[in-house]
Amino acid sequence: MDVASGDERGTTERVLTLLGLLQQRRVWTGSELADRLGVTPRTVRRDVERLRTLGYPVHASQGVGGGYQLGPGHDLPPLLLDDEEAIATAVSLLAGAGGAVAGAGDAALRALAKLDQVLPTRLRHKVGALSGSVEFFGGGRTPVDPEVLMTLARASRDEVEAGFDYPSGSEVRRRRVEPYRLVASDRRWYLLAYDLDRDDWRNFRVDRMTDVSARSWSFRPREAPDAATYVQESVASRVYPHQARFLVHASADTVRAQIPASAAVVRRRGSELCEVLSGAASLDFVLMHVLLLGHDFEVLDPPELRRRCHVLAEKLLSAGATTSPAPATEKS
């Protein structure tokens, strides 16, 4: 391979990396892009011009809050898709993000967010009209409005506040949040966000939200917990009045195949042990679920659950030892 062809390949890879960065966030400064790409700001300016030549509308602004931004153009940028293909792709992604396609939600939403970044306004209207005329049935996940998912995804991407009405007890209250990540479980979509009125991290079920909107106030991202772990632990245990931890004598992979992710958190503890964290309205209920897994286990927390094991064991032994009198037979 000669030097010229190697340089050309390196430039192409760098430009594609630059395009990917511009699709991930609303605005990047020149120095941020230079740092990510490992080049000088002058090289970033040249690569931006290369993208513009290819038809990607990269805008540049000066001053505080300024930088490079990928915006929609008058024509669909060269994604190897014509208008009809772009509309069909967007509608299919809307269906997948809304839960109509099992297992496709996460990837569909990521792809839809990228396509939305560059989709011309005239095509957005066609996508909305077509997606509104299509309905789906089946699938295990609770259906949600794809436009609500897109509104929250845009707000997370652009780092702007979001607002929505959400039930709290017997009331419905307006919530103001800094959206961080959308998380899909096996049954539902959740939003992990920083609740501005409660000054803490919270997760919200997307299917319970109404009147969802992105606000104009931007925010600086806070140090956040791992989104998937936080939401899973909350759904599986923290929302319940009682939580329990068990040491199960089976591999984590074996137990994960037996318990839905929304029902318990399974942590690896070596090759043949795992820790199970779950919650329920009753400690007896969660105890019976672990018992029915069929593996030996130990109660780690809470202490009162250990005492409850002895009480239930005595009842089971008593029930097994009791013999009912044989039914009387009628004399002919």
Residue 293, classed as helix, strand or coil, is coil
Answer with the residue of higher pLDDT: 131 or 83: 83
* Rounded Cα–Cα distance for residues 60 and 12 (Å): 21
Residue 330 has pLDDT above 70, yes or no: no
Alpha carbon 294 to chain centroid, angstroms: 31
Alpha helices in 234-302 (DSSP H): 252-256, 283-291
Q: Which pLDDT band holds residue 323 (cuts at 50, 70, 90)?
A: low
- Return the HEC string of 173-214: EEEEEEEEEEEECCCCEEEEEEECCCCEEEEEEHHHCEEEEE
Q: Is the dihedral of CA 40, 49, 115, 215 positive or negative?
A: positive
Element (H, E) at 64: none
Q: E strands along the chain, which residues?
A: 58-60, 68-70, 160-168, 171-184, 189-195, 200-205, 210-218, 242-248, 264-268, 274-280, 297-301
Contact 243, 277 (CB under 8 A): yes
- pLDDT for 181: 87
Element (H, E) at 220: none
* Rounded Cα–Cα distance for residues 117 and 76 (Å): 11
Contact 88, 76 (CB under 8 A): no
As a whole-number percent, the residues of the chain with pLDDT over 90 amount to: 27
Contact 23, 72 (CB under 8 A): no
Residue 133 has pLDDT above 60, yes or no: no
Q: What mean pLDDT is predicted for residues 68-86?
A: 67
Q: Residues 238-252: pLDDT tens digits? A: 767 888 899 999 999
* Closest listed residue to residue 229, CA positions, set 279, 277, 175, 281: 277
Residue 264 has pLDDT above 60, yes or no: yes
Buried b (16+ CB within 10 A) or exposed e, 116-133: bbbbbeebeebbeeebee
* Closest listed residue to residue 275, CA positions, set 236, 239, 308: 236
Answer with the residue of higher pLDDT: 186 or 317: 317
- pLDDT for 275: 92
As a whole-number percent, the residues of the chain with pLDDT over 70 amount to: 77
Contact 293, 258 (CB under 8 A): yes
Q: Residues 173-224: pLDDT tens digits? A: 999 999 998 887 767 788 999 999 999 999 999 889 999 999 888 898 899 8
* Rounded Cα–Cα distance for residues 107 and 182 (Å): 12
Q: What mean pLDDT is predicted for residues 158-186?
A: 89
Q: What mean pLDDT is predicted for residues 127-156?
A: 65
- pLDDT for 94: 66
Helix, strand, coil proportions of the chain in percent (round to 5)? 45, 25, 35
* Closest listed residue to residue 219, CA positions, set 195, 184, 203: 195
- pLDDT for 280: 80
Place of tokens 């760098």: 14
Element (H, E) at 159: none
- pLDDT for 160: 92
Q: Which pLDDT band holds residue 230 (cuts at 50, 70, 90)?
A: confident
Q: Which pLDDT band holds residue 149 (cuts at 50, 70, 90)?
A: confident
Residue 3 has pLDDT above 70, yes or no: no
Q: Which of 10-19, 56-65, 70-79 has the lowest mean pLDDT?
A: 70-79
Q: Which pLDDT band holds residue 10 (cuts at 50, 70, 90)?
A: confident
Q: Which pLDDT band holds residue 165 (cuts at 50, 70, 90)?
A: very high
Residue 139 has pLDDT above 60, yes or no: no
